[in-house]
Amino acid sequence: MERQQILALLPEILEIRSEKLRDQTVSAFQLAIKEGGWSDEDVLHAPVSISRENCDVGLIEHIRDVTQAVLRNYLFLDKYFVRHGKRVDRDILICGALTHDLGKFTEYAME
């Protein structure tokens, strides 16, 4: 899958400020999709779970929802970290949220 296709599917990647980490995140998706044998079309229909029948949430939707929730929580909680002299690396949070289920592309197969 091409970089632009991944960015279109997961625009939250563009929230990562570090160009290096942004590129590594895209590369990780490209590798997982390729290694899992997913076609560009099949990626759109990848399941979030294979143990739940009739689950109407796809993997891409789930990844995006988790990432958006992490971003909202970061915005809400950052003031507390700042108040106590702690910094949370926003880029790492975003990358972690985006890639938390990346292994499903290699664990699952389209049937």
When the pLDDT of each residue in the chain is averaged and rounded to a whole number, the result is 93
Joined together, the tokens standing for residue 80 give: 């507390």
Q: Which domain holds residue 93?
A: 3-107
What one-character-per-residue DSSP string does 40-94 give? Answer: HHHHTT-BS-SSSTT---BHHHHHHHHHHHHHHHHHHHHHHHHHTT----HHHHH
Q: What is the pLDDT of residues 55-80, one digit of tens each?
A: 788 999 999 999 999 999 999 998 99
Give 92-105 pLDDT, tens digit per residue: 999 999 999 999 99
φ and ψ of 44, to 5 deg: -65, -25
Q: How far apart are alpha carbons 43 and 30 in whole angstroms?
A: 11
Residue 34: alpha-carbon gap to chain centroid: 16
Q: How many domains in the chain?
A: 1
For range 103-110, the mean pLDDT: 87
Q: What is the pLDDT of residues 18-28, one digit of tens each?
A: 999 999 999 99
